[in-house]
Amino acid sequence: MKSMTLSSKKLFLLTLLLCLVIPASGCRKSEVTEAKTLRAIVISVHDESIMTAVSGKNDVLTPFEPVSVHYKDTKDLKLQRGTVIDILFDGTVMESYPPQISAKKINVIEEVADNWPPTKEIPEEYPFESAKEDGVYAEGLKETANPELVDRFLDNSTQGITAYLRKVSYTIEGDPIITDFIYDGGKYYAVTDASRDAYAAEEKITAKEYSYINTYEKENRRIVYLADQKDISPEDFEEMVLNPDNDNHIDVFIIANNMIAQ
């Protein structure tokens, strides 16, 4: 066999380099195992795709992680925010963020109406340990669980990335109040289900919209909250949110109010 010429060597090296580089660029596929069904909550619907959040535990993705679902027949489904769906797909997950899957079939499990959040499957008795195990952000009377999920929601949404957070807080009587926080790339939504609270007001399901997410930090206290103002100084927050005697309140929705470990 004749030795390669200089130009042949260059062509060989270029081909080898391309073989090494191309698989590493763009989105990678996780190993395909078998067809799977993923339960998810609809965040927004687009042409040939649906942005969703994983509903509950599964062996594919983490709870309430956003996932983009490619599906050509989105118009036929007439989905709206909060609808719970089952997604049949081949088990392949494109390792981008948010992750991407291609649906073979989508079944509607729970429709929503009158701002009802996708929380019907949660039992009436829903103790702190169950919420913690389910992978939600839980605020008990003495402790919190999974606070890192608040940071994930804050970090992703401030970068313009779709985000979803489920919070369960508990009354003195131990009744759970469930709030789903959604960022769809443009607006923040907070949908609260207080139907399990024995002392809740007459309106047990409420929904609000906000434009910004902010933080207030002082000494060892941090508050993450939604508002329609982007730049709220710590002094204004203290005066118009924390001060109960001030009639000129700023409308905010507090996501987390935690003490920072020293």
Q: Are 153 and 242 contained in the same domain?
A: yes
CATH code at 51?
A: 2.40.50.140
How many domains does the structure of the chain reveal? 2
**239 within domain boundaries:** yes
Check pLDDT > 60 for residue 67. yes
Which one has a higher pLDDT value, 71 or 115?
71
**pLDDT reported for residue 10:** 45
Q: Are 69 and 149 contained in the same domain?
A: no
**pLDDT reported for residue 220:** 85
**pLDDT reported for residue 12:** 39
Q: Are 66 and 188 contained in the same domain?
A: no
**26 within domain boundaries:** no
Q: Are 176 and 74 contained in the same domain?
A: no
Average pLDDT over residues 97-124: 87
Is residue 28 very low, low, confident or very high in pLDDT (cuts 50, 70, 90)? low
**138 within domain boundaries:** yes
**11 within domain boundaries:** no
C-alpha 48, offset from chain centre: 21
Check pLDDT > 90 for residue 165. yes
Check pLDDT > 70 for residue 193. yes
Q: Are 75 and 148 contained in the same domain?
A: no
Q: Are 140 and 105 contained in the same domain?
A: no
Lowest average pLDDT, out of 33-37, 63-67, 112-116, goes to 112-116
**pLDDT reported for residue 164:** 95
Check pLDDT > 80 for residue 5. no
Q: Are 250 and 161 contained in the same domain?
A: yes
**122 within domain boundaries:** no
Q: Are 52 and 150 contained in the same domain?
A: no
Which one has a higher pLDDT value, 153 or 72?
153
- Domain range for 135 is 128-259
Most confident of 32-36, 54-58, 94-98: 94-98
Q: Are 189 and 135 contained in the same domain?
A: yes
Listed residues 80, 110, 140: the one ending a domain: 110
pLDDT in tens, 41-54: 999 999 899 999 99
Q: Are 138 and 250 contained in the same domain?
A: yes
**220 within domain boundaries:** yes
HEC-encoded secondary structure of the chain: CCCCCHHHHHHHHHHHHHHHHHHHCCCCECCCCCCEEEEEEEEEEECCEEEEEECCCCCCCCCCCEEEEECCCHHHHCCCCCCEEEEEECCCCECCCCCEEEEEEEEEEECCCCCCCCCCCCCCCCCHHHHHHCCCEEECCCCEECCHHHHHHHHHHHCCCCEEEEEEEECCCCCEEEEEEEECCCCEEEEEECCCCCCCCCCCEEEEEECEEEEEEECCEEEEEEECCCCCCHHHHHHHHHCCCCCCCCCEEEEEEEECCC
Mean pLDDT of the chain: 85
Q: Are 141 and 252 contained in the same domain?
A: yes
Q: Are 44 and 150 contained in the same domain?
A: no
Is residue 3 very low, low, confident or very high in pLDDT (cuts 50, 70, 90)? very low
pLDDT in tens, 196-239: 999 888 888 999 999 999 999 988 899 999 999 998 999 999 99
Share of the chain above pLDDT 90, in %: 59
Which one has a higher pLDDT value, 110 or 223?
223
Average pLDDT over residues 56-65: 85
**pLDDT reported for residue 223:** 95
Is residue 261 very low, low, confident or very high in pLDDT (cuts 50, 70, 90)? low
